[in-house]
Structure 1
């Protein structure tokens, strides 16, 4: 669940990072909106008539629903970031625009953004500029699924804040995953979207909307037989959730596999472990352990498990890119990791060549543990002997004193094991 305030705050930061230096030429930005898959013979900024002759009017840009929120953020940030919002081709030529940003809130299947990108590149002048290397298209999205990220990076540069939550990012077992999928298929009434559009299996919800990548049973209002269905997300996609509904959704967090791994290792109190690693930290970072303790331990555990690239660490630690950068900086100040300098440079840089076939600067970053970081993990992974509980005397009848003979040669009774802690795995 991403609240309205969080979405606006993080989108402004993401746009600032994607636009780069203000002294650079202006950047053209467009809020992505839904288009028919077969939009030909039309294209971006077309005026007609087209060949073959058609009676259809050229489409005009009409923003609805979540597109209005993105459009509003772009307009409010336009002056500070030197951005041309919804510029025509002539305006782009007059301002010598070299970069075009296609901005959206969430990408689940990638179908909508792929169609919009093709619609923009179908313009003859833009296609010509792109072929000469004078113009490049980039995608800016708050959240994106891992599968869509891998697919879209072959078409354009992708700037994003976090990986979208899906079925695969939960702590469900294989059996539970199949049970959930069977439930969605059994009761989903929207054809081809029982698991979300293109089987995206998305669990990402925003305060202002939710994508069609979410399973149908979460948003449909009619069951398979025409019966009334009360969905978990009670409003249509074009309407924001009420504050009470948002609070109810934000109160639940699907357990993550990394958290389960930490619990199995007994790492339930990372703050105490990290206090000793704070000795050499700078004075301004004296509260790092208390503020970033759980995140630091999650980061160290993920690196130790073999996840070294930022995208892999975001998935393993269930962190946004901004959160991962803050935690990595705190870990670096505590001398727990190496490679932060390259991460910080890639995080703040927009020096991508623009060729989708080339690697993103973040893909070339690899973080590693220092000896101090490995020592922190080793100390937390030690098996701790449970403390024996005090013996409880047997109940005696009132007025009687029981005297028992104790054999000194017999081994002491083994202490009773404490009950395993309870971790809820599903909504009640």
Structure 2
């Protein structure tokens, strides 16, 4: 009977894993999030707004039309002026509108690059949230199996106690372990509900919608990591600042051109009445007068200040780009640290799990001959339960670091590999 109980325990503690070719559900979740995430939609709307500023920037100022009526007509040789119509159009200095158009276009491009970065970051967030659910599901699975095992052992211990084959303290110890695990199981379930809400919020759907997670190791991927590659020149976060720097350069050019004269063309049309006291050539003929005007930018302080602002903005963007670059390097270093830590812990707990199972078998055999206390057998079984959780935690750490590398490195290729699957 005791030997059969040991076999049941070992079968419950073993975790079957199989490598499968990818997990398509995650990609579906990512695509759904990209289509429905409100923050990403807001970023897209910002980009659409930025695009609409381009035609505004290159547009000419509105023409001016005016009309006037003479209360007392002004007499001229060919008749009295009764009314006057005027229309005029101002033109900025040559190249000003093109500079403003380039400035607005580059600003829109910068917003678009931020949108692409937000899209990549969202993919990483969805992946990490999905991995958190997998981890919690595995912990729930391990704990449920452990509670079931302790339930079987509790019945067996009670039966043995009634037949005076064991002490009551062993029964109480099993009950204590079981109650602790039931409490942890409820904590894991509560945590999963919170994680489920967080995951569904990323997808902008009902918070109670279920999420499919694998029960095997098909979600594990591996990739070659090149820590020496810290070239982020093509990263969207850096390119966005580059576009803003270029935009500020065109803004400086536009500010300089704004300080040059503006040209105006116009036309005056005077309405005349005929003279009745004499017959003249062109009597009462309306007058047309072309007009030209030039603005004189003599107050130079405002133009110099505008140029200075754009120059300072270029320096500001360069500094912010450098800060962004430093942040990317730090993020990659942290991802590499997480990756190495996950690999070490995976190997460590895999070895510890093997030794713990071997120790458990030895202790179980010793317990059969009553040379070891029952508490030591249960403690070793508890270690197996802990090591199984630590192992899956380490595997999740590796997967999260790979998701971070995928986001940080545009050239990073995260290919699923069965032969190099992280164990």
Q: Which bracket does the TM-score occupy, shorter chain normalised?
A: under 0.3
Larger RCO (CA under 8 A, 6+ residues apart): 2
Larger radius of gyration: 2
Normalising by structure 2, report the TM-score: 0.23
Normalising by structure 1, report the TM-score: 0.22
